[in-house]
Amino acid sequence: MNVNVMTHPLIQHKVTLIRNVETGSKDFRELLEEITLLMGYEITRDLPLEDVEVQTPLVKAIGKQIAGKKLGIIPILRAGLGMVNGLLELMPMAKVGHVGLYRDPETLKPVEYYCKLPSDLAGRRIIVTDPMLATGGSASAAITLLKEKGARDIQLMCLVAAPQGVETVNKEHPDVRIYVAALDEDLNEHGYILPGLGDAGDRIFGTK
Ligand SMILES: O=P(O)(O)OC[C@H]1O[C@H](OP(=O)(O)OP(=O)(O)O)[C@H](O)[C@@H]1O
Ligand SMILES: O=c1cc[nH]c(=O)[nH]1
Ligand SMILES: [Mg+2]
């Protein structure tokens, strides 16, 4: 299984808080944003840098800036929206696209209902966000769609994953790097991650 599990103590601590059934929507959203920001710091480690001249109040100096690659953040609606602001705080220059998918509760297959993407996907580092990677059907379908529109350099960032979801994405998209805050044990008979945190979209937006 090819997946990067973020073991930073602050991430692990916040994942425990966000799993708690007593955590309400306001705290859930705040924790998700904080975890995303911490994960974003880790997953952008390999962004290329270039030298740039900077005029300080005293002298000219050589500093570093992110080179070449433009960035794209693509949340899978709805729940992926909860991970956008944390990434935008780190990378305000990123463009944000949206892929709307919901998982049919009977078949567990993804159903597409919306798509709005930056036009130049091919030249961007794309970070797909979705808190939950369960069967992997939604993430895999979203990545297929992005590749059809030209995306080549894709990272998938999730809060909690089931082994089945990681394996699906590994198999269908071996080039995509997967980052999770927790790799859980299994899925239940309704396709929910165990121990998981329930329905992420409902917990973010307060629906049932
Ligand atoms: O890996 P999978 O088995 O495809 O399941 C994961 C998907 O299910 C959830 O979305 P949901 O269908 O609940 O939509 P929502 O975000 O609008 O709540 C979740 O946010 C993922 O997109
Ligand atoms: O556990 C799960 C599985 C799919 N979608 C969720 O929001 N949670
Ligand atoms: Mg949901």
What is the CATH number for 182? 3.40.50.2020
Annotation says 199 is catalytic = yes
Q: Rounding to the nearest 10 degrees, give the CA dihedral for residues 47, 170, 180, 18.
A: 140
- Residue 126 pLDDT more than 80? yes
Q: Determine the structural domain holding residue 70 and report its residue range.
A: 4-205
The predicted-structure confidence for 41-95, as pLDDT tens digits, reads as follows 999 999 999 999 999 999 999 999 998 779 999 999 999 999 999 999 999 999 9
Minimal CA–CA distance to 161: which of 191, 186, 138, 184?
Answer: 184
Pocket of ligand 1 contains residue 117 by CB under 6 Å: no
Global ipTM? 0.98
pTM check: above 0.80: yes
Cis-peptide, bond into residue 78, ω within 30° of zero: yes
Model pLDDT for residues 149-165, shown as the tens digit of each residue: 999 999 999 999 999 99
153 is catalytic: no
Q: What is the pLDDT of residues 173-192, one digit of tens each?
A: 999 999 999 999 999 999 99
136 is in an annotated binding site: yes
Strand 98-103 relative to strand 49-55: parallel, antiparallel, unpaired?
unpaired
Rounded Cα distance, 208 and 198, in Å: 11
Q: Which atom of ligand 2 is nearest to the CA of 191?
A: 3
Cβ neighbors of 24 (< 8 A, separation 6 or more) are none
Spot the catalytic one: 27, 44, 153, 199.
Answer: 199
Q: Output 2 or 68, whichever has higher pLDDT.
A: 2
